DNA sequence: CCCTGATTCGC
DNA sequence: GCGAATCAGG
């Protein structure tokens, strides 16, 4: 695939919408997230408004010394003195927990295209193009684009409520 | 381990 | 210009 005008346009759009590179890559198809990121940079679109969060990495030449896998195991001395106490307590206020019981998934996450990866349920909800259109977004099964619930819906019955009832009754 | 973007550089 | 490999971080 090449960067046609249309694809670049879509790339820009999705990037501006805040989608991740991998998501955009998936949306475009035929490209990897690296390709997307590379293009983003070439277009000078990096940054995306996001403040300096993960920048500041130290660049180091890797051409001279390929060092494929820096597995040199540099055993320095006095490792015991490296008491790097990094206790970070994070009190989870627990805002809106969703139990998500097995097979019971009436409420979908409000995922548009964000966070949709190969491991998130891509069950479409609503009409495409509609403002309410989104995806389930729950954890998908292995080798399946859908979560447990929607996988069942997709491959068996056409009425989700039957399965829900079934699950509820045992 | 999952993911994110950033950078380098051979092609 | 392109993007895989790599890097740095959450």
A168, A158 contact by CB (below 8 A): no
A135, A123 contact by CB (below 8 A): yes
A170 CA – B4 C1', rounded, Å: 41
What is chain A written as a DSSP string? ----HHHHHHHHHHHHTT--HHHHHHHH-S--HHHHHHHHHHTT-TTTT--SSS--PPP---SSS--SS-------S-GGG--------------S-----TT---SPP-BSSTT--TTB---EES-TTSTT-EE--SBPPTT-SS-HHHHHHHHT-S-HHHHHHHHHH-
Measured to protein CB atoms, the chain C nucleotides within 7 Å are 1-10
Mean pLDDT for the stretch of residues A143-150? 72
Output the pLDDT for position A117: 67
Per-residue pLDDT of A90-139, as tens digits, reads: 333 333 444 444 444 434 444 555 556 667 777 777 665 666 667 777 76
Task: Quote the distance between the C-alpha of residue A117 and its chain's center.
Answer: 5
Please give the protein residue whose CA is closest to the C1' of the nucleotide C5: A68
Output the pLDDT for position A31: 92
Output the pLDDT for position A42: 93
pTM of full prediction above 0.75 = no
Q: Which residue has the tokens 């193009």?
A: A129
Instruction: Please give, chain by chain, protein residues whose CB is below 7 Å from any atom of strand C.
Output: A 1-3, 31-32, 34-35, 37-39, 42, 53-54, 56-58, 60, 62, 66-68, 70
Instruction: Please give, chain by chain, protein residues whose CB is below 7 Å from any atom of strand B.
Output: A 19-23, 33-34, 37-38, 40-41, 46-47, 54-55, 57, 59, 61-63, 117-119
Output the pLDDT for position A90: 37
Please give the protein residue whose CA is closest to the C1' of the nucleotide C1: A42
**Residue A87 in this model has a pLDDT that exceeds 70:** no
Per-residue pLDDT of A126-137, as tens digits, reads: 665 666 667 777
């Amino acid at each position: 695939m090449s960067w046609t005008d249309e694809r670049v346009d879509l790339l820009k759009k999705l990037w501006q919408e805040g989608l991740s590179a991998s998501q955009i890559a998936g949306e475009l198809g035929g490209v990897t997230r690296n390709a997307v990121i590379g293009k983003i940079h070439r277009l000078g679109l990096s940054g995306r408004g996001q403040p300096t969060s993960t920048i500041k990495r130290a660049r180091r030449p890797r051409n001279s010394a390929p060092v494929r896998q820096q597995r040199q195991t540099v055993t320095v001395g006095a490792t015991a003195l490296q008491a790097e106490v990094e206790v970070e307590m994070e009190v989870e206020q627990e805002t809106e927990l969703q139990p998500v019981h097995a097979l019971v998934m009436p409420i979908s996450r409000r995922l548009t295209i964000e966070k949709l990866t190969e491991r998130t349920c891509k069950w479409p909800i609503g009409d495409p193009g509609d403002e309410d259109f989104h995806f389930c977004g729950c954890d998908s099964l292995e080798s399946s684009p859908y979560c447990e619930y929607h996988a069942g819906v997709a491959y068996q019955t056409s009425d989700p409520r039957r399965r829900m009832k079934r699950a509820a009754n045992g």
